[in-house]
């Protein structure tokens, strides 16, 4: 019987195409080649006490507690990963790894540590670009590949800094493409590569040693890897990185419309063979679409000569269009096809941060902490620009969620673009107010606090823990 089973197993292995088999030699050669260009990111934020608490006199046995209880700065550290993309020391990582940082350092595999400046960040895609200060100026680097060529089932490896342990390599396959987890430009690669806290900002490599993704988030009820991780595709990351490196900010195109999906029933009613395109649900009267004659109810089928497959793809197509260019927009209006010409304008993105050196305290003496984070939510007051960026409901009042910290209790419950209107049934209008109310409601025990959200005009009630 054993002999029969052995023959069957051998026949099965011979039938498996070589391309689908696990690499017989492992990933050692790739690790040797790529690891020197992958760095650990150490970001520190100087924090000041929010209350003028008494300090202990010099020489007192309790003097060591002054840093915790007094007015002296405290330092909050975060660890992540990144990778060098040119010999001059340009580094790519996640925005949430270095957000609000006063000091950023990169740590190499050989133990060297060098300071870095923040060149620019893009909260919308959670990307950041750093520039290493000092060093040889001839750093090892890796290159972006073509993420559109990556297929479900392809082998990929991640190199990063999980849990601050240092350079680690994990391997797996691409599980799915086009995943959406709450952002406006989401088109994530899903993998089963083991990604944990500290891997954020690290590279996802294909078997040619090219970066096809930037590891950004995981789906996990425990906070650790359960085999579902998400990476920003290189074809989305690379143009953003180029803009941040050149301008210190992103320069996205803007059409000035809100769109919704075409359902199967809607497609049938419109005479389409299958759902495609994006239906215009609102036109900004100050936007270029309004000036071009685009109307609410129009079905956008093509933009700049490229077919619009769905409502998720259109914002990316517009964002990638050069500012000031005139493009054609093919629409279906009440059953009649029309082609309109629109001049793409620049999207106003108030959350984008320009280049700045880190290491100098940007706060004035005695100022309160500059953090805009409450219970894992990065918040900002509602502005006209944010209304356009996140397509907020006209009645929304309060604080806009501009980022959600991966691994926090809010992850999976709150989305970017939600508006926090009340915390513990109390209206909020400033971040400091929100922080104080949330902390008071949570108490010392850290009990859950009710957040009232406006999500595209719908009332959502979520309980969040600190």
| pLDDT tens profile 208-220 | 999 999 998 887 6
Per residue of the chain (466 residues), give pLDDT as tens. Answer: 555 444 444 444 444 444 444 566 788 899 999 999 999 998 877 655 444 555 555 555 555 555 555 444 545 566 899 999 999 999 999 998 988 787 889 999 888 889 999 999 998 888 999 999 887 778 999 999 999 999 999 999 999 988 777 788 999 999 999 887 766 677 899 999 988 888 889 999 999 999 999 998 887 666 667 788 899 999 999 999 999 998 888 889 999 999 998 988 888 888 889 999 999 989 999 999 999 999 999 999 999 999 999 988 898 899 889 899 999 999 999 889 999 999 999 988 765 554 444 433 333 333 233 357 899 899 989 887 788 777 788 888 899 998 888 778 888 889 888 999 999 889 998 988 899 899 988 888 888 888 999 988 888 888 898 8
pLDDT at site 255: 94
The per-residue pLDDT for 62 is 53
C-alpha 38: how far from its chain's center?
A: 19
* The pLDDT of residue 16: 40
Instruction: Collapse the DSSP code of 44 into the 3-class scheme (helix H, G, I; strand E, B; otherwise coil) and give the result.
Output: strand
pLDDT for position 57: 58
Number of C-beta neighbours around residue 70 at 10 A? 17
Residue showing tokens 């990778």: 83
In the annotation, is 175 catalytic?
Answer: no
Q: Which of 42, 81, 175, 200 is catalytic?
A: 200
The whole-angstrom separation of Cα 161 and Cα 38 is 9
Q: Cite the beta strand spans of 140-297 per DSSP E.
A: 155-160, 168-179, 188-191, 203-205, 211-218, 229-233, 253-254, 257-260, 278-283
Taking the C-alpha atoms of residue 414 and residue 436, their distance in angstroms, rounded to an integer, is: 20
Number of helices and strands (H, E) in the chain?
10, 27
Which pLDDT belongs to residue 137?
76
pLDDT in tens, 385-419: 788 777 788 888 899 998 888 778 888 889 888 99
Token pair of 420, please? 């926090």
Q: Which of 96, 186, 390, 418 is catalytic?
A: 96
At residue 12, the pLDDT reads 41
Indicate if 96 belongs to the active site.
Answer: yes
Q: Which two tokens stand for residue 215?
A: 């590891």
Residue 445 annotated in active site: no
Beta bridge partners of 9: none
| Dist. CA 221–CA 351, nearest whole Å | 29
As a whole number of angstroms, the distance between CA 370 and CA 431 comes to 10
Q: Where are the alpha helices (DSSP H) in 203-304?
A: 234-247, 264-269, 288-292
Q: Which of 42, 78, 122, 126 is an active site residue?
A: 126
């Amino acid at each position: 019987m054993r002999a029969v089973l052995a023959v069957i197993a051998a026949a099965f292995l011979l039938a498996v195409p070589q391309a689908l088999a696990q690499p017989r030699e492992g990933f050692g050669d790739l690790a040797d080649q790529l690891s020197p260009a992958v760095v650990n990111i150490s970001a520190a934020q100087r924090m000041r006490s929010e209350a003028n608490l008494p300090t202990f006199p010099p020489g007192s046995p309790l003097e060591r507690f002054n840093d915790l209880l007094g007015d002296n700065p405290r330092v909050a550290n975060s660890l992540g990963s990144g990778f060098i993309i040119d010999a001059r020391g340009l580094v790519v990582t996640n925005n949430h790894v270095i957000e609000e940082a006063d000091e950023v350092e990169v740590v190499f595999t050989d133990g060297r540590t060098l300071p870095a400046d923040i060149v620019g960040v893009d909260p919308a895609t959670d990307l950041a670009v750093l520039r290493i200060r000092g060093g040889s100026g001839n750093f090892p680097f890796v290159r972006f590949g073509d993420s559109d060529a990556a297929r479900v089932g392809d082998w990929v490896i991640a190199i990063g800094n999980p849990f601050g342990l240092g350079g680690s390599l994990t391997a797996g396959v691409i599980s799915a493409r086009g995943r959406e987890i709450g952002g406006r430009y989401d088109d994530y690669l899903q993998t089963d590569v083991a990604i944990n806290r500290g891997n954020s900002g690290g590279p996802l490599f294909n078997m040619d040693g090219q970066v096809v993704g930037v590891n950004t988030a995981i789906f996990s009820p425990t906070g650790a890897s359960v085999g579902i991780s998400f990476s920003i595709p290189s074809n989305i990351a690379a143009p953003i990185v180029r803009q941040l490196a050149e301008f210190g900010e992103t320069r996205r195109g803007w059409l000035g419309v809100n769109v919704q999906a075409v359902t199967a029933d809607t497609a049938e009613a419109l005479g389409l063979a299958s759902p495609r395109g994006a239906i215009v649900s609102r036109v900004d009267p100050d936007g270029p679409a309004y000036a071009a004659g685009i109307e609410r109810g129009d079905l956008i089928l093509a933009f700049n000569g490229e077919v619009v497959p769905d409502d998720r793809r259109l914002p990316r197509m517009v964002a990638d269009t050069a500012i000031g260019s005139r493009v054609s927009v093919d629409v279906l209006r009440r059953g009649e096809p029309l082609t309109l010409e629109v001049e793409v304008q620049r999207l106003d993105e108030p959350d984008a941060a320009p280049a700045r050196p880190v290491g100098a305290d940007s706060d004035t003496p005695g100022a309160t902490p500059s953090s805009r984070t409450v219970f894992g939510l990065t918040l900002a007051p509602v502005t006209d620009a944010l209304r356009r960026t996140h397509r907020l409901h006209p009645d929304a009042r309060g604080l806009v969620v501009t980022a959600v910290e991966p691994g926090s209790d809010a992850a999976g419950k709150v989305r970017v673009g939600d508006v926090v209107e009340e915390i513990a049934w109390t209206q909020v209008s400033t971040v400091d107010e929100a922080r104080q109310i949330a902390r008071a409601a949570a108490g010392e025990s850290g009990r859950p606090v009710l957040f009232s959200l406006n999500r595209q005009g719908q009332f959502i009630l979520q309980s969040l823990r600190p």
